[in-house]
Structure 1
Amino acid sequence: MIIHEQEITWAQHTLILTNKKAIYWPAQKTLILSDLHLGKAAHFRRNGIPIPSQIHQRDLDVLEKLLLHYTVDKVIVVGDLIHAHQNGEVLDFKNFLQQFSEIEFILIKGNHDRIADRKILDFGVKAVCNTFHLDGIEFVHEPEKCADYQISGHIHPGVTVRLPTNKHFRLPSYVVSENMIILPAFSQFTGLDTKQSFEKSVNYAILDTGIMAIK
């Protein structure tokens, strides 16, 4: 797996956007991501929709490679770690965390995180909260306008790129403005919102081969 990076200066901090849909914050040795939706594929299969069982494992494989690639003391998940209810795929995450017990995982609860906090903590997550603050940055699940500097998720942002041939394709993206960053969904099993736009922001579209800024 090749990790491509785009370094930005934001809120007077150096952040590294990766093409694996997570941000690395070197000064804090922190990885930031959103919307894993663990257990979503199993939830769909239980309701009669044939979804491949390998999807969640591929997401965990990417997360593992990021944790091994960077020096990580802390992982901040800005919501929707778990899609609905506990199932076998969610329990795989508990086993995953046991491999990285030295890393502090913090969950900011999202609208899909309906499992009791005590169960999430039992997985090995160190803290579950509605908001989290670190070095002047507020972490929440849904974007809000009240904070000075805020990182969130929830929207699953994406952009539509048109080719000269008039063909177009949709890509996940980071949304970056002066005081706000919205993360793409980490899970590959999510939709993309390409309709919402944010004033004075830059979309960093994610490709296998790199990251492309689209203003």
Structure 2
Amino acid sequence: MNQTISILNNTFILHPAGGIFWEEKSMLLIADVHLGKISHFRKHGSAVPFKAVAENFEQLSRIADSFNTEAICFLGDLFHSSLNTEWNLFEKWVQSRQEKIILVAGNHDIITPVKYERLKIPIYSEIRSGGFLLTHHPEETSGFFNFCGHIHPGIRLGGIGRQVLKLSCFFKTENQLILPAFGTFTGNYYLEPKSGDQVYAVTKNEVIQVC
């Protein structure tokens, strides 16, 4: 189940896969996929099943197919590091899609822009649209609401008997919303919400507001 929120009179739909659909722009926002990370682990001897590579692309297709989206905007760290075999899978995935694909570069995006140019994927350091600022790193810019990634936000939820449930989350403050990491094997940084913050925890099938 999705969660729908309104920011500056625009409608945003939070999806359990970890992306946000911006209705007015018909744009899907996704952060921190870290493609290539699984292949990097496997190359260095980690026992990560190869099917986990395909899961990232299947998840991307599922969320894109969930909305009538015209564009997919990756908010940085689309790839984890340098080129490996997952680039070939990414090329095939891009060629299978009809949406315009955009990259706001993150600190891990070190692959030459020439490779993206060949796929007709523009790269930006940031995007400003109306009162919204799309970046990879969290930014505080007067007059703008910031959508970003980089942090891989998570939340700890206490239960009966001192149990602790750890979940990825969308973390919203007054002028910013940090998206969860979309990719598998990315890890989380657990944040402590302050008064006025809104946290939307992500489970397999739901986005649940927990504060």
Verify the 8 A CA contact 1:75 1:104 in the aligned structure 2: yes
Cα distance change, pair 168–125 in 1 and its aligned pair in 2 (3 A):
farther
Cα deviation digits, residues 51-72 of structure 1 (max 9, x gap) = 2222221111111112222101
Map of 1:160-199 to 2, 5 A cutoff?
160-195=156-191, 197=193
Report the TM-score, using the length of structure 1 for normalisation: 0.92
SS of the residue 1:37 aligns to: coil
Tell me by how many angstroms 1:197 deviates: 4.5
Given the alignment of the two structures, is residue 138 of structure 1 paired with residue 111 of structure 2, yes or no? no
Verify the 8 A CA contact 1:22 1:32 in the aligned structure 2: yes
**Aligned match of 1:59:** 56
Given the alignment of the two structures, is residue 28 of structure 1 paired with residue 30 of structure 2, yes or no? no
Of residues 169-178 and 149-158 in structure 1, the stretch that sits farther from structure 2 once superposed is 169-178
Tell me by how many angstroms 1:142 deviates: 0.5
Q: What one-letter code is carried by the residue in structure 2 that aligns with 1:25?
A: W
Cα deviation digits, residues 87-138 of structure 1 (max 9, x gap) = 11122011000011x311110111110111111222x252101101223211
**Aligned match of 2:207:** 211
- Distance (Å, rounded) in 1 between the aligned partners of 2:73 and 2:190: 25
- Distance (Å, rounded) in 2 between the aligned partners of 1:196 and 1:42: 32
- Distance (Å, rounded) in 1 between the aligned partners of 2:18 and 2:7: 17
Map of 1:47-126 to 2, 5 A cutoff?
47-100=44-97, 102-122=98-118, 124-126=119-121
SS of the residue 1:38 aligns to: coil
**Aligned match of 2:13:** 16
Q: What one-letter code is carried by the residue in structure 1 that aligns with 2:178?
A: I
- Distance (Å, rounded) in 1 between the aligned partners of 2:43 and 2:195: 41
Cα distance change, pair 125–154 in 1 and its aligned pair in 2 (3 A):
farther
Verify the 8 A CA contact 2:155 2:192 in the aligned structure 1: no
SS of the residue 2:21 aligns to: strand
Tell me by how many angstroms 1:49 deviates: 2.1
SS of the residue 1:115 aligns to: coil
Tell me by how many angstroms 1:12 deviates: 1.9
- Distance (Å, rounded) in 1 between the aligned partners of 2:78 and 2:117: 12
Q: What one-letter code is carried by the residue in structure 2 that aligns with 1:110?
A: G
- Distance (Å, rounded) in 2 between the aligned partners of 1:171 and 1:93: 27
Report the TM-score, using the length of structure 2 for normalisation: 0.94
Verify the 8 A CA contact 2:39 2:53 in the aligned structure 1: no
Cα deviation digits, residues 134-184 of structure 1 (max 9, x gap) = 232111001011242110000000001111121112000001122111000
Cα distance change, pair 125–40 in 1 and its aligned pair in 2 (3 A):
farther
Cα distance change, pair 140–198 in 1 and its aligned pair in 2 (3 A):
farther
Cα distance change, pair 16–156 in 1 and its aligned pair in 2 (3 A):
same
Of residues 182-191 and 196-205 in structure 1, the stretch that sits farther from structure 2 once superposed is 196-205
